[in-house]
Chains A and B, each alone.
Chain A
């Protein structure tokens, strides 16, 4: 496999863009600031005890250093009940505080407000698919700033996990059930969503752009992409679809990747793993999208997920038209 998605295209957004601290990304959601408060509380308490313990250790080593082999201990103390109680009670109080703070933040993270914009997320090896309220599917997550966004996640195959570090949110996408996460983005900009549950070969390239936009811009974008056929030719729509849904595994410039290249594919004779040969015509393209396991190209692994239920007939036609263009 050649270089992954981050090397194929330029200008992916940062995981942790400018504006953060030494430890943390900038706070781009409403929940982020409380999460960071919890983080820093634990951090300073930990730092205090760490310095205390190690300073004492170093001090004792120096002060009570054994200078001759037969030097004996100075003190015979073996226990002190009061000390045991104090140094159990104080840490106990502190960790209970940590628990409580974490709990409060978590309650906010799992209880979305009643007014939310619902977006469905489908995870599959190795891409994210976001379905907007009007039914449009996209590989990018666009959200209007200062709105409550609720994501409903599921997976088509194995467990994945959607993580957006700038928002401090994360949730597993589990096949066979729905999970949820919500956030309120507070900062316009570009962010990155990553898969954070190991899911196979290109787990580390299963990333998605996240755009936090002005609500008017968001609305315009959604309208534009929802019906690309209005403004674009079939082949153009096909090109956009391929760039969004297929490029993590297929190239268009002739390089081999997880899957075969699309360059000069259409109309060509394709050698399959079982030794037979087929022509890459319309039926072949359609079959590969719906039943990818039926005709594996020789030299490649059977890892392509199915797009049944995810691509409309018109979109499949658009992809076929684009391939015809690529073959010219």
Chain B
């Protein structure tokens, strides 16, 4: 079916049917679309950059939180997800190639495979999230780990949200004989971030995971984890919607060597989604 002429079909010697009125040629239109898409991808990277920055700041200031908490993430599941996304990027690129060469059925099949990869990724993410939910390993105020996760009786966040978290030694006046023993004033479960870690007290035995007692503010890690993977997950869903749309149009025969721009653009987007995960995986799962 494909002759040399077809596979090398160029964009410039095509009918102007797909070219919008304000463009002169199809190639000008395509180049504009590509440039626009790359700029959009840049904005997406910057959107995530805030989260990467928050990660960097918190990890630099409290490395022990990240070392302790990342153990609760499943490296095998994360690795499988990475492979799934990489493969789906490959099938996506192949789908673009197929579209470009007029291979309608191949393109649709490859797009469906890519979509399948997306579902697989989301499925594994669901499993991971469910595990965290059950174990109480959530963000911020909802961090309420169950006893078997820590060697000490971990308490729910002791400082009620909205109450002051005053650094210990502000006032020399005697403390009021406080009513119900809420929490030891001198060691609240939440330490304000700026006070720094309580110290890397490694016991002699300790290659073992740090205990809950020694590590404060673990919920920070899970906050960052859910924010980053959550936002990424939203982008995966958006990408899958776009792939489904493009697959549908491809099935209808909307694309040809003269016009396959939407497939190419969705492809670029999916590659970005993949690249972001490539960064997320080691940063969250592979901490040493």
Residues of A within 8 A of B (CB): 120, 122, 124, 131, 135, 137, 154, 156-157, 174-178, 290-291, 305-306, 308-313, 316
Contacts and interface: CB of A to CB of B under 8 A. Distances in A.
Interface residues of B, number: 20
10 contacts: A131-B170, A131-B171, A135-B172, A137-B171, A154-B167, A157-B164, A175-B192, A291-B179, A309-B173, A310-B171
A176 B195 contact: yes
A281 to B, nearest CB: 16
A291 B176 CA distance: 12
Nearest to A289: B176
B172 A312 contact: no
A161 B163 CA distance: 20
A175 B173 contact: no
Given A176-B194, A306-B164, A313 B170 contact: no
A309 to B, nearest CB: 6
Chain A contact residues, majority secondary structure: loop
Given A308-B178, A313-B177, A175 B165 contact: yes
B195 A310 contact: no
Contacts of B194: 174, 176-177
Q: Which 4 A-B pairs have the closest CB atoms?
A: A176-B192, A177-B194, A135-B172, A156-B164
A215 B134 CA distance: 63
A158 to B, nearest CB: 10
A312 B167 contact: no
Given A290-B179, A313-B176, A313-B177, A178 B164 contact: no
Given A131-B170, A176-B195, A309-B176, 8 more contacts: A122-B166, A131-B171, A131-B172, A131-B173, A156-B166, A291-B179, A309-B171, A310-B173
B175 interface: yes
A131 B193 CA distance: 24
A175 B167 CA distance: 8
A264 to B, nearest CB: 27
Contacts of A154: 166-167, 170
B174 interface: yes
Contacts of A306: 163-164
B167 A176 contact: yes
A92 B171 CA distance: 48
Contacts of B173: 131, 135, 137, 309-312
Given A154-B166, A308-B176, A309-B176, A120 B171 contact: yes
Main secondary structure of the interface of B (DSSP, over half): loop
A328 to B, nearest CB: 27
Among B163, B171, B179, B194, find the residue whose CB has the most chain A CB atoms closer than 10 A.
B171
B232 to A, nearest CB: 29
B89 to A, nearest CB: 42
Nearest to A131: B171
Contacts of B195: 176-177
Contact of A178 (B167, B171, B174, B185): B167
Contacts of A131: 170-173
Interface in B177-202: 177-179, 185, 192-195
Interface in B266-284: none
Contacts of B166: 122, 154, 156, 175, 309
Contact of B176 (A124, A137, A177, A311): A311
B176 A290 contact: yes
A309 B179 CA distance: 12
A122 B170 contact: yes
Given A175-B192, A177-B192, A308-B178, A122 B167 contact: no
A26 B175 CA distance: 41
A291 B173 CA distance: 18
Contacts of A290: 176, 178-179
Nearest to B194: A177
Nearest to B175: A309
A309 B195 CA distance: 19
A124 B166 CA distance: 11
A154 B166 CA distance: 8
A77 B198 CA distance: 69
Question: Which of B164, B179, B185, B193 counts the most chain A CB atoms within 10 A?
Answer: B164
A154 B169 CA distance: 11
Tell me which of A137, A305, A309, A312 has the highest count of chain B C-beta atoms within 10 A of its own C-beta: A309
Contacts of B167: 154, 176-178
A176 B217 CA distance: 13
Contacts of A135: 171-173
A176 B159 CA distance: 13
Nearest to A311: B176
Contacts of B163: 306
A305 B167 CA distance: 16
Contact of A120 (B170, B175, B178): B170
A127 B167 CA distance: 18
Contacts of B174: 312-313
A126 to B, nearest CB: 14
Contacts of B185: 309
Contacts of A312: 173-174, 176
Contacts of B176: 290, 308-309, 311-313, 316
A175 B193 CA distance: 10
A73 B163 CA distance: 70
Nearest to B193: A176
Interface string B139-178: 0000000000000000000000001111100111111111
A88 B170 CA distance: 51
Contacts of A124: 164
